[in-house]
Amino acid sequence: MQDAPSLWRAMAGPLEQRVSMGAPLDRDLVTEVAIVGAGYTGLAAAYALQKRGIGSIVLDAGEIGWGASGRNGGVVSSKFRLSFPLIARLHGLDTAKTMHRLAHDGVRAVEQLIDEFDIGRAQFEHTGSLRCAHTERALESIKSEADWVRTALGDRSMTVQSRAEVTRETGSNGFVGGVLSADAGTILPLEYVRGLAAGLVRRGAEIYESSPVLDMHRAPGHWGVMLRTSRGTVRANQVIVATNAYSNLTAATSPFTRELVPFRSAMIATERLPAELDAKLMVERRSYTETRRMMKWFRKVDGRMLFGGRDAFGKEGQTAGLDALRRAMVALFPELAGVRVEYGWSGYVGMTFNALPRVGRSDERTTFCLGYNGAGVAMASLLGQHAAALALGEKPELALLAQRGLKPVPFHSLRAPGVRVVAAWYKILDAMGA
């Protein structure tokens, strides 16, 4: 499988520094829980099982972190795409409180995993995340959300910043103010996922790379699921499907794509910034998002500007989306016009129609966990663990994230054109400042 030419790969240590877990599955094995997918979800699930003394085997079609976990922006956030006031309005205050706790539990899960597996190379920093408003109307909306979270949930971690503060901190004149969420941070995503895998392997976990699961079917007896790869099989009592937006890699996992609308999301990284720009842009080194519907985000890593967005259509490897990202970056940061873009890559984000992740069982042997809507670093680190609990028959508190069975996305076969129509409409609304 082809590697994405990302900054993360360039920054990661040489391959020989990784723990050796590279061999594809070439035998017939038996384990209590088989896990398909070695991203944050699958590895967090393996971690939760290991803590309970339950055996598991993780299989990935590519390398560890080949999916979104090795390609993302590394923004560690404590929120869902659905705001907490909206959750309260739709589902009641108690549900909003539980969802708020789950969101912050996600950040705690990252901290705990980094500590426990000593993943210093992932450079996790609890920097906070600044949401920058592109219009007065957008600013009012995020301010009222921060007020609501403070008064209704007692959470004082969100504070309002003025236009002058946001301009000073970002180095861009493109915003009218913002809201800082203190319980958030940044991480090197590929180092994090590799560090998780290395930690698990040190404690005896079995992870097989280059082992796409081609077929999953029922077998008689306690080891009631049979997973087949091209050169081996795994028989298990339970299976956890942790393939998210990459579920359609093989027919065995593609039914889980029905839960999702995969959206291509892209990132660019510039060359190292000249000293005067480095001293001016993003001086607090947080992660930054903006309020446009077709949201862009940015942060500084390794002295470079990293800029991402969710409107990169076309096939992976095509550069049209990356050129559009560069234009959007220069619109917000005109001083970057002469700075070279050195890396550009993309990956798939699993969006859902209710804008929330989903954890559930599709039958008595199969648990799935997916749909992070582009905010999965923290949430997958948490929900993978809850998926493991669910697979063992426990009842973790999942509030609105719990889902029974597989619910196909309506008009599934039309979803690619549908995504384009929605995205085009969002762009028009953004251009109108609506």
Ligand X SMILES: Cc1cc2nc3c(=O)[nH]c(=O)nc-3n(C[C@H](O)[C@H](O)[C@H](O)COP(=O)(O)OP(=O)(O)OC[C@H]3O[C@@H](n4cnc5c(N)ncnc54)[C@H](O)[C@@H]3O)c2cc1C
Q: Interface with ligand X by CB under 6 A: which residues? A: 36-42, 59-62, 66-69, 71-75, 77, 212-213, 242-247, 249-250, 252-253, 265, 267, 308, 346-349, 370, 372, 374-378, 380
Quick one: 195 or 376, whose CB is closer to ligand X?
Answer: 376
Minimum distance, C-beta of residue 274 to ligand X, in the bound complex (Å): 26
Minimum distance, C-beta of residue 92 to ligand X, in the bound complex (Å): 26
Quick one: 142 or 196, whose CB is closer to ligand X?
Answer: 196
Which residues, including other chains, have CB under 8 Å from residue 231's CB and lie 6 or more apart? Answer: 24, 25, 26, 211
Rounded CA separation 114/76 (Å): 13
Quick one: 176 or 259, whose CB is closer to ligand X?
Answer: 259
Quick one: 161 or 243, whose CB is closer to ligand X?
Answer: 243
Minimum distance, C-beta of residue 89 to ligand X, in the bound complex (Å): 25
Cα Rg, the chain, nearest whole Å = 21
Q: What angle do CA 263, 269, 275 make, to 5 degrees?
A: 150
Determine contact, residues 297/129, Cβ cutoff 8 Å: no
Minimum distance, C-beta of residue 42 to ligand X, in the bound complex (Å): 6
Rounded CA separation 328/323 (Å): 9
Minimum distance, C-beta of residue 30 to ligand X, in the bound complex (Å): 18
| Residue nearest ligand X by beta-carbon distance | 376
Minimum distance, C-beta of residue 294 to ligand X, in the bound complex (Å): 14
Rounded CA separation 350/356 (Å): 10
- For the chain, the first-to-last Cα distance in angstroms comes to 42
Minimum distance, C-beta of residue 43 to ligand X, in the bound complex (Å): 7
Determine contact, residues 385/48, Cβ cutoff 8 Å: yes
Quick one: 176 or 389, whose CB is closer to ligand X?
Answer: 389
> Per DSSP, which regions of 296-391 are E strands?
296-301, 304-309, 341-351, 358-363, 366-370
Minimum distance, C-beta of residue 249 to ligand X, in the bound complex (Å): 4
Minimum distance, C-beta of residue 122 to ligand X, in the bound complex (Å): 13
Quick one: 63 or 155, whose CB is closer to ligand X?
Answer: 63
Rounded CA separation 259/317 (Å): 25
Rounded CA separation 312/77 (Å): 22
Q: What angle do CA 307, 313, 314 make, to 5 degrees?
A: 125
For residue 239, give the H/E element and its range. strand 233-241
Determine whether 50 is exposed, middle or buried from the number of CB atoms within 10 Å of its CB (0-12, 13-18, 19+).
middle
Q: Which two tokens stand for residue 154?
A: 């007692």
Rounded CA separation 368/360 (Å): 6
Determine whether 101 is exposed, middle or buried from the number of CB atoms within 10 Å of its CB (0-12, 13-18, 19+).
middle
Minimum distance, C-beta of residue 229 to ligand X, in the bound complex (Å): 8
Rounded CA separation 371/243 (Å): 10
Quick one: 84 or 246, whose CB is closer to ligand X?
Answer: 246
Quick one: 128 or 167, whose CB is closer to ligand X?
Answer: 128
Quick one: 59 or 328, whose CB is closer to ligand X?
Answer: 59
Quick one: 128 or 308, whose CB is closer to ligand X?
Answer: 308
Quick one: 29 or 152, whose CB is closer to ligand X?
Answer: 29
Minimum distance, C-beta of residue 93 to ligand X, in the bound complex (Å): 26
Nearest by Cα to 209 from 55, 17, 72, 43: 43
Helix, strand or coil for residue 102?
A: helix
